[in-house]
Structure 1
Amino acid sequence: MAEKSGKAFDFKLFRRLITYTNPYRLTFYFVGFSAILLAILSIVNPYLLRETIDRTIIPKDGELLIYFICLMLGVLFLDVITQFLFIYFANWLGQEVIRDIRVKLFKHMLGFKKQYYDQSAVGRLVTRAVSDIETIASIFSQGLFMIISDLLKMLAILCYMLYQSWQLALLVFVVLPLVVYATRIFQQKMKVAFEEVRTQVSNLNSFVQERITGMKIVQLFTREEIEYSNFKAINEKHKKGWIKTVWYNSIFFPIAEMSSSITIGLIVWFGGLKAAQGDEITLGLVIAFIQLSQILFRPLRQIADKFNTLQMGMVAANRVFAILDTDSKIENNGVQLLEKIKGKITFDEVRFSYIENEEVLKGISFNVEAGETVAIVGATGAGKSTIINLLSRFYEIDSGVISIDDVDVKTIELKSLRSHIAVVLQDVFLFADTIFNNITLNNEEILEEQVYQAAKEIGIHDFIMSLPDGYHYNVKERGAMLSSGQRQLISFLRAYVTNPGILVLDEATSSIDSHSEQLIQNATNKITKGRTSIVIAHRLATIKKADKIIVMDQGKIVEQGNHNELLQIENGYYRNLYEVQFADATE
């Protein structure tokens, strides 16, 4: 979470953000030049208005009046064109910058450890990657350049006022500090308020995303009323965050409006008296000063609003950069590339903990020979799934060595390592896409013919072809159009087409319906044949056929051997487990 601060502006954060405009320097400079031109144009029309009144209207010179009107129209046209180019390219620059940041952020998140996602709410990450980055664009489109343009306009107007009449300018300067001070306080208060708003938006997104994803559980356990109450409470906090910003706006803008009106009144009073006395202050100058003061106070009022936009963008940038600065990557210092592997796996005194000083694996050692099928059994929390996560280097071990074909996995390039390991999980994740794309994961090297052939080999081609559109059937979000057994079959095929050297089945057969059970068993036999396989399963048939069974309890290996050997151990852990859990299946 971004640190809350009353600081009105974080220049260090701003400088970092500006570096993303480097590839678009020409556009950046053009927008800056447009801001300068708009500042100059802001004093040209009041000057022409003064000249028109003093030199044409009062002397009643009709020909010269037409000339000045044409000049004013020309300046107005130039101002409109400059405004158009300024606004368009400021927005264009903002979109280019956020595109680059979003791509960089997503690439960065792709390399995070699994542990990062274990500890981070999905809704918050979605907020950072989508709405927060979109808010950053407003820094360029409605914040930074607009503020610079307004400041330049104000500076040009103040200088011009002093040049034309120091007396009338002094009247403006008397009121100006009040507005400047109010603007400063307003900026500081809005900084804190918008940080609170972004926090509540993130909480709201996270809550809604989780409840929609888990709606089945909410309805099954009749939690609708409770979740509704929780949502109302979160929504109330979100509303209060916004109300705070509305409160500050409600105070500031009337003060700014009142200051502008007081200034105009002073100019009319003092300037009118001087003009009536035939002093150097003319009627045209008084009217020009009225227009100049309005132009001066308008950006001063708006600059606070634009600063709100800038603040929101800066808060969003701070949150996005916090993720970009997160060092949660698996160190990919390996240089070895595995062309082909035999599949020998060795764990040597491996220790691991998700939370420091709370070991999940307590110095385990075992060997899996190339081509062997090894089953890992044990109670929930024994460390079975942790082993396969460590094999693919989703987490870093605390100590010990994990090797494949006698090569330490830390010395293997990460992509090369994972390309030789295929995993079939119990909770199958399918994207909202076609079956074919879910199998190949858009890998262009895998051809349709290869997928068809692989599906026929493991016996699920007919099942896929029975679906509407066959391999091009869209399974919708998370594979909602398929049963759990059908999703599992797709995941088996996804693993099989990659032709992995090592196959991992993590409880892959625990949620299979009876109709799919035979297909799954045939697929399992086919894809495990001739390759190293690690199976975490409860089904008796799978475990009995394993070349070796590793029995785990509380992070330690308590027994190893094949099915028959382990059954011979008196009061053995596996034997007791077999008798309790698998006796009915045997009968």
Structure 2
Amino acid sequence: MHMVKSNEKLNNPKETINRLLKYIGSKKASLILIFVFCVITTLVSIFGTKLNGDIVDNYIATGNMSGLYKICIILIAMYLAATASTFVQNRLMVGIAQKTSSDIRKDLYEKMQHLPLKYYDTHSSGDLMSRLTNDIDNINMTLSQSITQLISGVINIIGMLIAMLMLSPQLTIIGLLTIPITIMGTRTIMKYTQPLFIKKQGDLGNLNGYIEEMVSGQKAVLLFGQEENVKKEFDNINKSITKSAILADAISGCMGPINNFINNLTYLVLAVCGGVFILKGMDISVGIVFTIILYMRNFNQPINQILNISNTLQGALAGAERVFEVMDENPEMDKDNSVVVDNLQGEVKLEKVEFSYNNDKKILNNINLTAHKGQTIAIVGPTGSGKTTIINLLNKFYTIDSGRISIDGKNIDDITMESLRKSVSVVLQDTYLFSVSVRENLRYGNLNATDEEIEKAAKLANAHHFIMQLEDGYDTVLSDNGGNLSQGQRQLLSIARAILSNSSILILDEATSSIDTRTEVAIQEAMVNLMKGKTTFIIAHRLSTIRNADKILALKDGEIIERGTHDELLQSDGFYANLYNSQFRSGLGI
């Protein structure tokens, strides 16, 4: 399992914010409407608060009850307008958040389709799923809940400050004295919580990776009696994410109570100072003091909201940075002069090919082989000798260190990956089937195939008989990875899918390893027709499947140590002969 160790520090928060703003900026019309409605809400709040002060001085103090009723009706109408405006803001922001997260999810998924196989070999699929789901959901939640607060908060702060200064500059300055204390306290708390939120997102990716791996390998867990160990490992990872989440949320949760305490002290100071000014005969009334306190409350509230949502923003930035990390990975790219080749004939040649995965140990060393059109080349050797690596290189899943691989005389580096892979059909040892019908799984090999062509391919692969025995035949919907089929049946469907692709090069990587001997005989008969006119590479541990190969290559430690036909290699009594005899002479009396 590839556990992803997360940094406990944002690498480039400014760049992450700018990239998020580019996504949000594409919804300019909705943002302008949100701004307009935020201004309306702020104006209603300013005038409504001013009217509250007027009620004290002009109606309550004078006993003008009829005027009080009228102004109360006006206030109710204003508050209803503010409520409607806030509803529209939130509705627009939800739409922006959903569209933005949808765009990010689309871009991330598209990028994942173009990442090299090496990236997936070194990253947990669960962690990638976490970035595609949890991290983007975190961004969506933050945008929908926080951006409107930020916009309306800034407008509120500016509007309330202007209103307070116009009403009483002295009390306004007194009220503003506590703002630096609030900001400094919040920045100090953020300094401690930021690493915790980043660690929380990384731990969540690890947890998803572990869950995905254990669910996929549950059968192995049960077979080897590892339930208790799996529980302990899950418990450790779960405790880690719980600890980081509790610490992050608990520490950031201190900001609200601390800010409220400072704000309440501010209102107390304003009330006392206002009373002193009134007693000294200054041009300030009870209504003005009351209005200033309300303005200050409305002024502090958005500041507190902005400071309090900083923990949410930190989590979103941590998730966004994880998403953008994948987006910034180098994709598979064709060379500038690569050409599309539609009709490759299948003349394959490897010349002095050398390759290593990590530039420290050579997996292939000085590989030379030629496969003429229509030939069958078998590759045998012990595990780790480099057999499957050759297949990966033929498909341009990896780039060779040195040497040359050509098809029909064209260097595969000069052929686009899409056209190259369309000319190569691969049947792997571990086949994968999608949770759709059998028919659609087979059509994956050729999206334009007709139903008749699908059935013909299934018959060639000897799969038609068992397909017809399924509940809905070719329309039977398979469970996850064909879990309602046997391993052999899944392999037969994979072979039929390869047949349907009708490519010029065929690769069988342990294609019959999960099929019983009787079925294997029938498959071999079908393969004879399938391989006619095609260049075929067979990787096999069961050497009975390659007796009729035109050429057999014996691979050991990344080098071809023997080559020849089955009979020639047996007569040489070398590595291949020993390998063959160890399988058949003792067990079958050959």
Kindly state the Cα deviation for residue 158 of structure 1 after the two structures are TM-superposed. 2.3
Range that drifts further, 347-356 or 254-263: 254-263
In the alignment, which residue of structure 2 is the partner of 1:39?
42
In the alignment, which residue of structure 1 is the partner of 2:14?
11
Q: 2:460 aligns with which of 436, 457, 471?
A: 457
Aligned-partner residue type, residue 445 of structure 1? N
Question: Which digits, 9 at most, give the CA deviation of each residue in 1:199-239, with x for residues without a partner?
Answer: 11111111111111111111111111111111111111111
Q: 2:306 aligns with which of 303, 306, 312?
A: 303
In the alignment, which residue of structure 2 is the partner of 1:208?
211
**CA RMSD in angstroms, aligned pairs only:** 2.1
Distance 1:10 1:454 in 2: 54
Aligned-partner residue type, residue 98 of structure 2? Q
Q: 1:21 aligns with which of 20, 24, 28?
A: 24
Distance 1:527 1:72 in 2: 83
1:427 is aligned to 2:430: yes
Kindly state the Cα deviation for residue 388 of structure 1 after the two structures are TM-superposed. 0.8
Asked if the contact 2:334–2:416 (Cα under 8 Å) also holds between the matched residues in 1, the reply is: no
TM-score (norm 2): 0.94
1:438 is aligned to 2:452: no
Asked if the contact 2:388–2:509 (Cα under 8 Å) also holds between the matched residues in 1, the reply is: yes
**Structure 1: tracts of 5 or more residues without a match:** none
In the alignment, which residue of structure 1 is the partner of 2:406?
403
1:226 is aligned to 2:216: no
Kindly state the Cα deviation for residue 471 of structure 1 after the two structures are TM-superposed. 1.0
Q: Give 1:361-440 correspondences, 5 Å limit.
A: 361-440=364-443
Q: Give 1:178-577 correspondences, 5 Å limit.
A: 178-275=181-278, 279-333=282-336, 335-441=338-444, 444-514=447-517, 516-569=519-572, 571-577=573-579
Give secondary structure in 2 for the equivalent of 1:568.
helix
Kindly state the Cα deviation for residue 15 of structure 1 after the two structures are TM-superposed. 1.4
Aligned-partner residue type, residue 205 of structure 1? N
Q: Is the alpha carbon distance of 1:31 and 1:120 closer, same or farther for their aligned partners in structure 2, counting shifts above 3 Å?
A: same
Distance 2:335 2:433 in 1: 27
Distance 2:484 2:337 in 1: 41
Kindly state the Cα deviation for residue 75 of structure 1 after the two structures are TM-superposed. 1.8
1:93 is aligned to 2:127: no
1:143 is aligned to 2:135: no
In the alignment, which residue of structure 2 is the partner of 1:57?
60
Distance 1:94 1:75 in 2: 28
In the alignment, which residue of structure 2 is the partner of 1:579?
581
Distance 1:78 1:116 in 2: 54
1:120 is aligned to 2:112: no
TM-score (norm 1): 0.95
Distance 1:166 1:514 in 2: 94
Asked if the contact 1:347–1:401 (Cα under 8 Å) also holds between the matched residues in 2, the reply is: yes
Range that drifts further, 61-70 or 129-138: 61-70
Range that drifts further, 89-98 or 52-61: 52-61
Give secondary structure in 2 for the equivalent of 1:524.
helix
Give secondary structure in 2 for the equivalent of 1:520.
helix
Give secondary structure in 1 for the equivalent of 2:26.
helix
Q: Percent of pairs identical after alignment?
A: 33
Range that drifts further, 379-388 or 437-446: 437-446
Kindly state the Cα deviation for residue 57 of structure 1 after the two structures are TM-superposed. 2.1
Give secondary structure in 1 for the equivalent of 2:400.
coil
Distance 1:84 1:518 in 2: 70
Kindly state the Cα deviation for residue 442 of structure 1 after the two structures are TM-superposed. 8.3
In the alignment, which residue of structure 2 is the partner of 1:67?
70
Distance 1:302 1:248 in 2: 16
Range that drifts further, 209-218 or 534-543: 534-543
Question: Which digits, 9 at most, give the CA deviation of each residue in 1:311-333, with x for residues without a partner?
Answer: 21111111111111111424354
Distance 1:82 1:360 in 2: 66
Asked if the contact 2:43–2:159 (Cα under 8 Å) also holds between the matched residues in 1, the reply is: yes
Asked if the contact 2:487–2:514 (Cα under 8 Å) also holds between the matched residues in 1, the reply is: yes
Asked if the contact 2:109–2:132 (Cα under 8 Å) also holds between the matched residues in 1, the reply is: yes
Question: Which digits, 9 at most, give the CA deviation of each residue in 1:148-172, with x for residues without a partner?
Answer: 3213212322222222112322331
Asked if the contact 1:432–1:475 (Cα under 8 Å) also holds between the matched residues in 2, the reply is: yes
Q: Is the alpha carbon distance of 1:294 and 1:184 closer, same or farther for their aligned partners in structure 2, counting shifts above 3 Å?
A: same
Distance 2:169 2:10 in 1: 37
Asked if the contact 2:445–2:498 (Cα under 8 Å) also holds between the matched residues in 1, the reply is: no
Kindly state the Cα deviation for residue 491 of structure 1 after the two structures are TM-superposed. 0.3
Q: Is the alpha carbon distance of 1:476 and 1:332 closer, same or farther for their aligned partners in structure 2, counting shifts above 3 Å?
A: farther
Kindly state the Cα deviation for residue 292 of structure 1 after the two structures are TM-superposed. 2.0
Kindly state the Cα deviation for residue 353 of structure 1 after the two structures are TM-superposed. 0.7
Asked if the contact 2:10–2:198 (Cα under 8 Å) also holds between the matched residues in 1, the reply is: no
Question: Which digits, 9 at most, give the CA deviation of each residue in 1:470-528, with x for residues without a partner?
Answer: 11112211111110100010000000011111110001111213463344333323322
Kindly state the Cα deviation for residue 363 of structure 1 after the two structures are TM-superposed. 1.2
